[in-house]
Amino acid sequence: MADAGGPDLTGAWQDAITAAERALRGDRVTRAQVVTTVEVLCEDLQLLDRPSVGRHINYLVSLLDFLGLYDTSRVLLEHVASCFVLDPPALNMDAAVRNQLAVTFAERGHLPAAARLLTGSAKGSVWTAATLANQACVMLRRRDIERAVDAAFRARQAVVPAEGDDETEEELDVHVLATAVLAQVARMGGLHAVADELVDELEGFVRRLVRLLGGDHPKSLSALVTLAWAEFESAREAGESQRIERAGDVIALAAQRMSAILGTEHPRSLSVLQIMATVEHETAWVLGSDRRLQGANALMRATVRRADGLRRWDPWSLGLDETIEVERAAVAAIPVGHPDRAVHLTRLGNALQARFKHTGNPEALFEAIEVGRAAVAATPDDHRDRAARLTILSSALQARFKHTGNPEALFEAIEVGRAAVAATPDDHPYKTVFLTSFGNALQAMFARTGDAEALFEAIEVGRAAVAATPDDHPDHVVHLARLGTALQAMFARTGDAEALDEAIEVERAAVAATPDDHPDHVVHLARLGTALLSRFARTGDADALSEAIEVERAAVAATPDDHPDRAARLTNLNFALQAWLARSGNLHSQWERFERTRAMQDFEDPLAVWERLARLAPPDPSHDSDADR
Amino acid sequence: MDLYQARQPLGAGFLVMRRFVLTALHCLRGLTALDADLDIVLADGSRVVGRVCRQDKDADLALIEISADSEVSQPVPVVGVARGGDRWRGPYRPADNEVELSGRIDSGAVRYLCESGASIEALQLTADQRLGDYSGYSGGPVEGFAQDREPAVVGILLEQAPDRADASRSANVLFAATMREVMRRFDQFDVAHLIDVLRPPTRQEQAAQSRSAESPSPRSQADRVDIVIDTFQQLSDQVVMDPTHVTELRYLALKYVFERNPDGGASWPTPGGPT
């Protein structure tokens, strides 16, 4: 290694880089040996304590990616990122090193680490400009548009070469990047005339950079693609199909050339491929060509597969705070009326609800509700996602009711949930999800107000959810259980025998549909037992009582000694058995004998007591009938 | 893909993008005239018309432009860089009764003096098949493949090395131009030219370009063998981020929409989603 090394390239660094270079040349070093050297490097506690660490990491990661050692390169970067957290003073490094590291992280999608490195820009005109331009790029990718624009303007102002001086490579890099950010933001904001002026400026910077570096340099190709993308957006806005196709063709050629220089694994190759897929898709759409669209779909699949294969960080899978931050910025950036706005409002609302669940912070919930309302308002009535967005809003309102007890929130949740169900076609894949959410709101209303109408509607909704779910679907039994609960509540509220009969059938189906070793099996048994006891209590139905004893006994047997529900299930079994004993006069003596044996050895074990009783009084209906006689 | 003229097979080609096919110039010897139309059979079996638009006699390469009225989808880019020690194969066979070539990539990039006299960046390949004569395979793509990597087209087969002991035979060593070399040889792929395609230059720009053309590119590394290593070293010094990332939001939006329609669908998917 001639250039990337230096006086501080010693020890573990030297070993790792040399091994990777030799493996790349096919020079008797295996990939496994390269991995080992990087593992040793990651044990270096002074990993960042050298002036050229930015260059070394960038170079080594590129080599590892080229060797197909994506996990190893990722581990190395994660180790570096963890160093920043564990040892904040390690960030007190030269601005150039910070920027080099930020480039490495940003190219591989790890934007939080890149942003952390760029915070607190260093002194010095060129480095300051580079840091600002990098900040603009990272902010744009994180959808913090306002700060992106501010940083981009400041970056351009920071690059003012003395009169007569030739522009340096770094100065042109800064101009290309900052101008590209501004053009992109202007286009996103609908400022097309401004964007077109910026594209004119961008062209000049790109031409000068290419003249400086030559056409074979990857940065020349990146600059070309950036210009081609800006030109594509300008042409699309102007509706000029020939310009659109020209830009797409240039990007396609550049994609091949970039891969021919850096390999398909390099982040620059992947980035150009992503642009190519985007442009080809949008071109197919503009031209209305199904054949082009099929090709674009194949291209998109390949792009996604390649990105996944490289195991990059996905900016949309970062932490919750990160998601909220970027989605909030996206909402701020997308004009009202744009179809993407509702998408980002929904994502923001979901993230805010998740934050409320994690932190209990009501402000997050209140914002989620406002955002949810805005998402619904931004969604046309006939949009296929309208029901989903209504349901998300209803869910947030229900959470607010639970948190604050505010009945207005519950009223609104029901209205919104009802609208969601009404907007859902029968064959919608998420229909049962919307029905369930609506049913929960109705049951909450019944629980709060005792409103039988709400409960009646909840039962109707529950029946619809059961009917909409195939018997072998994992959610089928869940919907059965919810319906059973509502039906038992209806019986308790109104004494409606038909509701109770239906509840028993539903609970039997739930028990039958749940494997014996499933944790929910005992829950369904207990509910069925309760329903059967209710029928016995209401009608004196001996069959119901016998079945209740059998079911309650199974429920108790399946409940661990230390389970909080064990006492309640024993009580139910106790009740059932006492009732059975009360009906079985010929066994009264045995009951009395039990009463007398309270001092017996197994008294402390209630289950053993009841099982002993059960042996004395098997719940056999024929036996019961005999006793009655 | 296959090249024909009047149903007579000419040789193999490689679709670089929807408008251009690369091949070895000598594959086109059978053409009645270099500006004659030829038929191109694409990978999906469809047939389009093209015409030679550039030839590089030094490196034995030709570029064919597909007729503008043909609707061809942009191919998925599969060009890549070879690593020494990887395996290779040549998916093109001159005829159905010919074998498919495969073997080992001895070197990711070497200087090679072509029969025509040109010095090019080439891959040195060892073939497993030991045919003794590899005529007819020229112009076909060379695929490199290795563990944890997608196969990639890393070169275009050009020449076979003669057997020193028996001049009537060829050794089982072949040479292929790297894709980087191939693409560098045609102005259609030149970055400055492509900028002009995008935005025709002003007089001032033309003057600046002519001044620039007088001096060689200061960063050209065409004479280096360890080109990939050298390029990585150059890029490892960079302090400014890749400007193509400013487009990422659009790609992520499209990806999001696409993943909600994993089959791709036959029509433009509707944006939106609850999650």
Decide if the complex's ipTM is over 0.85: yes
Q: For residue B71, give the nearest of A176, A180, A291 by CB distance.
A: A291
- Exposed/middle/buried for residue A356 (C-beta within 10 Å: 0-12, 13-18, 19+): buried
Beta carbons of A261 and B180 less than 8 Å apart: yes
Residue A365 belongs to a domain? yes
pTM of the model: 0.65
Residue A546 pLDDT > 70, yes or no? Answer: yes
Are B177 and B59 in contact by the 8 Å Cβ rule? The answer is yes
Position A623 scores a pLDDT of 37
Task: Among A70, A227, A256, select the one facing B77 at the smallest CB separation.
Answer: A256
Q: Which of A336, A352, A378 is the last residue of a domain?
A: A378
Q: Which amino acid is at B52?
A: V
List, in order, residues 6 or more apart from A406 with CB less than 8 Å away: A400
Q: Over the stretch B91-101, which tens digit does the pLDDT of each residue have?
A: 888 778 889 99
Give the mean pLDDT of B38-60: 86
- Per-residue confidence at A614, pLDDT binned at 50, 70, 90? very low
Q: What percent of chain B has pLDDT over 70?
A: 85
Strand ranges inside A471-511, DSSP E: none
Lowest-confidence region among A321-335, A398-412, A587-601, B52-66: A587-601
Paired strand residues for B122: B110, B177
pLDDT average, residue stretch A507-535? 88
Give the separation between CA B19 and CA B166, rounded to whole angstroms: 43
Cβ–Cβ < 8 Å for A509, A479: no
| Range of lowest pLDDT (A94-103, A179-188, B162-171, B243-252) | B162-171
User: Which residues, listed in sequence order, are joined to residue B61 by a DSSP beta bridge?
Assistant: B24, B56
Question: Which residues have a Cβ under 8 Å from the Cβ of A105 and sit 6 or more positions away?
Answer: A77, A81, A111, A113, A114, A117
Identify the pLDDT of residue A401: 92
CA geometry: angle at A64 spanning A62 and A66, to 5°?
70
Q: Give me the mean pLDDT over the B52-64 stretch.
A: 86
Distance from CA of A499 to the nearest CA of B (A): 36
The DSSP bridge partners found for residue B50 are B38, B66
In a domain, A357, yes or no: yes
- Say if A569 falls within a structural domain: no
In sequence order, the β-bridge partners of residue B22 are B14, B63
- Chain A residue with minimal CA distance to B177? A260
Ramachandran angles phi, psi of B104, nearest 5°? -120, 140
pLDDT for A459 equals: 94
Is residue B188 over pLDDT 70?
yes
- Domain boundary residue among A107, A123, A139? A123
What pLDDT does residue A4 have?
44
The per-residue b/e assignment along A591-606, b for 16 or more CB within 10 angstroms, e otherwise, is beebeeeeeeeeeeeb
pLDDT for the residue B25: 83
Residue type, A207: R
Classify strands B8-12 and B2-5 as parallel, antiparallel or unpaired.
antiparallel
Q: Distance between CA atoms of A131 and A433, rounded to whole angstroms?
A: 47
Model confidence over A379-412: pLDDT tens digits? 999 888 899 899 999 999 999 998 888 889 999 9
Q: How far is the C-alpha of A62 from the C-alpha of A20, rounded, in Å?
A: 10
Boundary (domain end) residue, out of A123, A139, A156: A123
Q: Is A167 on the interface with B (CB under 8 A)?
A: no
Give the model's confidence band at B69: pLDDT under 50 very low, under 70 low, under 90 confident, else very high. confident
- Mean pLDDT, to the nearest integer, of B142-153? 83
Which residues have CB under 8 Å from B3's CB, separation 6+? B9, B10, B11, B12, B13, B21, B23, B27, B28, B38, B39, B40, B41, B64
In A, minimum Cα distance to B81 occurs at A263
Most confident of A395-404, A464-473, B214-223: A395-404
What is the band of A144 on the pLDDT scale with cuts at 50, 70, 90? confident
Is A563 among the domain residues? no
Residue at A117 is within a domain = yes
Alpha helices in chain B (DSSP H): 179-184, 191-198, 203-214, 227-236, 248-259
Q: Is the predicted pLDDT of residue B267 greater than 60, yes or no? A: no
How is residue B220 annotated by DSSP? Answer: -
Q: Is the pLDDT of residue A85 over 70?
A: no
- For residue A441, the distance in angstroms to the closest alpha carbon of chain B comes to 20
pLDDT score of A437 more than 70: yes
The answer, yes or no, to whether residue A575 has pLDDT greater than 90, is: no
pLDDT above 60 for A318: no
Q: Look at residue A425 in the predicted model and tell me its pLDDT.
A: 84
Residues of B within 8 A of A388 (CB-CB) are 273-274
A260–B241 C-beta distance less than 8 A: no
Interface contacts (A, B; CB < 8 Å): 348
Cβ proximity of B64 and B176 under 8 Å: no
Alpha-carbon distances, residue A180 vs A183, A190, A583, B242 (angstroms)? 5, 15, 87, 11
Assess whether pLDDT exceeds 50 at residue A432.
Answer: yes
Cα distances (Å, whole numbers) of residue A597 to A409, A575, A584, A591: 57, 19, 20, 10
Please tell me which of A584-588, B43-47, B191-195 the model is most confident about, judged by mean pLDDT: B191-195
Of residues B113 and B84, the one with the higher pLDDT is B113
Q: Please report how the helices A566-583 and A621-628 are oriented relative to each other, as an axis angle in degrees rounded to 10.
A: 40
Which of A372-376, A491-495, B58-62 has the lowest average pLDDT?
B58-62
Question: In this structure, is residue A110 part of a structural domain?
Answer: yes
Q: What is the DSSP string of A514-557?
A: S-TTSTTHHHHHHHHHHHHHHHHHHH--HHHHHHHHHHHHHHHH
- Overall size of chain A counted in residues: 629
Q: What is the mean pLDDT of chain A?
A: 82
Neighbours of A397 (CB within 10 A): 27
Dump the DSSP string for A252-312.
HHHHHHHHHHH-TTSHHHHHHHHHHHHHHHHHHHHHT-HHHHHHHHHHHHHHHHHHHHTTP
Q: Hey, what amino acid is at A67? A: L
Confirm whether A114 is domain-assigned. yes
Strand order in the sheet with B38-41: B8-12, B2-5, B38-41, B47-56, B61-66, B20-24, B14-17
Residue range(s) defining the domain that contains residue A83: 1-123
B264 has pLDDT over 70: no
Structural domain includes residue A351: yes
Distance from CA of A45 to the nearest CA of B (A): 23
State which of A477-481, A574-578, A586-590, B167-171 shows the largest mean pLDDT.
Answer: A477-481
Subunit contact A350:B232, Cβ cutoff 8 A: no
* A576 pLDDT higher than 90: no
Say whether B73 and A220 touch across the interface (CB within 8 A): no
Between B210 and A209, the more confident residue is A209
Please tell me the distance from the alpha carbon of residue B33 to that of residue A501, in angstroms, as a whole number.
90
**pLDDT tens by residue, B108-146:** 788 888 887 888 889 999 999 888 888 878 778 899 987
Task: Identify the weakest region by mean pLDDT among A566-580, B159-173, B254-268.
Answer: B254-268
Say if residue A629's pLDDT is above 70. no
pLDDT-derived band at A500, boundaries 50, 70, 90: very high
Neighbours of B169 (CB within 10 A): 14
* Euclidean distance between CA atoms A90 and A47, whole angstroms: 9
Among A98-107, A156-165, B201-210, B266-275, whose mean pLDDT is lowest?
A: B266-275
- Number of structural domains chain A divides into: 2
Per-position b or e across A198-224, b if 16+ CB within 10 A of its CB: bbeebbbbbbbbbbbbbbbbbbbbbbb
C-alpha closest to that of A107 among A28, A253, A219, A260: A219
Q: From the list A63, A103, A134, which residue is nearest B232 (CB)?
A: A63
